[in-house]
Amino acid sequence: MTVSLYRITAPAFEHTLGCLKDILRKAEDHAAAKKIDPSVFLNARLYPDMFTLTRQVQIATDVAKGACARITGQEIPKYEDNETSFAELQARINMTLAYIGSFEAKDIDGQEERDIVITPGGVERKFKGERYIVHWAIPNFYFHVMAAYCILRENGVEVGKMDFLGKV
């Protein structure tokens, strides 16, 4: 049986970004209930050399939109990376969901052999489409969503595994 690149990208990204929106909403509600300045959560990180919650969300959305754009040969939409509130992070996720939602199976399936070149950290990496999706984009996406989840959990927001997984 062949695995559909579309099914493992756009719908999976949409589902998990929806879960991330819910987790961020819980964090915002927690901050309000406990009278904690939201910037405490937005600027929190798991370790001093790791990215903040805000940056984790930015990267997760960048990976999702970038994967869909690259695998279809489109320009990647550019975001300013200037979010400073939960509302702005939610808006960023919504923009990403709208972009990802514009793709159909016919756009992504069949792109397994597309040449993909990325330059993370200034180092050029070359992939074929399927390898890029399976071994780079998907793990990278989940890494940053999980980091965001862990930052909030570490800071007392009552989220659990089912918040991360969502309703499937």
First to last CA, the chain: 22
| The pLDDT of residue 1 is above 80 | no
Q: Are 114 and 71 in contact (CB under 8 A)?
A: yes
For residue range 11-67, list pLDDT tens digits in order: 999 999 999 999 999 999 999 999 999 999 999 999 999 999 999 999 999 999 999
For residue range 65-123, list pLDDT tens digits in order: 999 999 999 999 999 999 999 999 999 999 999 999 999 999 999 999 999 999 999 99
Following DSSP, what letter does each residue of 7-43 receive, concatenated?
HHSHHHHHHHHHHHHHHHHHHHHHHHHHT--HHHHHT
For residue range 31-42, list pLDDT tens digits in order: 999 999 999 999
User: Does domain 5-165 correspond to CATH entry 3.30.1330.10?
Assistant: no
What's the rounded Cα separation, in Å, for the pair 4 and 105? 8
Helix (H) or strand (E) holding 90: helix 86-100
